[in-house]
Amino acid sequence: MRDAIISALALMDETDAISCLLEATREREANHRAEMRRRLIQAEEERDTAEGAGVIISIICDVFEVDESDLRGSARGSRIWEARSTAYVLMMDLLDMLPREVASTLGRERSTVVKVSARARLSESRRSRLSRSLCVDALA
């Protein structure tokens, strides 16, 4: 590639060659700036998602009166299950997180997040709807 560019430049007069090199340099710099902006936007979105997940976890712990370590850990029980399932559903619905992102945030398996959130959506008991609405109200 480099040899082809050098050969092409050799065929041009000096002014055209300089213009061509300047244009190529400008294009490369523009592409680099665009890539840096894209990375910055992506980092900001990831940070916002992480902050939002932290807020949801905090509210879930307050509403369900569970410790964050229990929510993230292997503790069992109906209150813990409901708190986890509500956290999964809210993170996916409100933050548009994928199950794998929710799983890594809470230290769970992706398949567990998918299975539990699907079961929580199917049950849709009055209590679970109330719990979710309390959490959403606390977020507002």
pLDDT in tens, 40-92: 777 677 778 888 888 889 988 988 899 999 988 888 888 898 889 889 988 88
pLDDT over 80 (residue 21): no
Close Cβ partners of 126 (under 8 Å, ≥ 6 residues apart): none
**What CATH number did the domain enclosing 131 receive?**
1.10.1750.10
pLDDT over 80 (residue 111): yes
Query: 114 is in which domain, residue-wise?
Result: 2-139
Helix (H, G, I), strand (E, B) or coil at 13: coil
Distance CA 61, CA 118 (A): 21
pLDDT over 90 (residue 102): yes
- Domain count along the chain: 1
Q: Among residues of the chain, what percentage have pLDDT more than 90? A: 15
In residues, how long is the chain?
Answer: 140
pTM of the entire structure? 0.63
DSSP label of 95: S
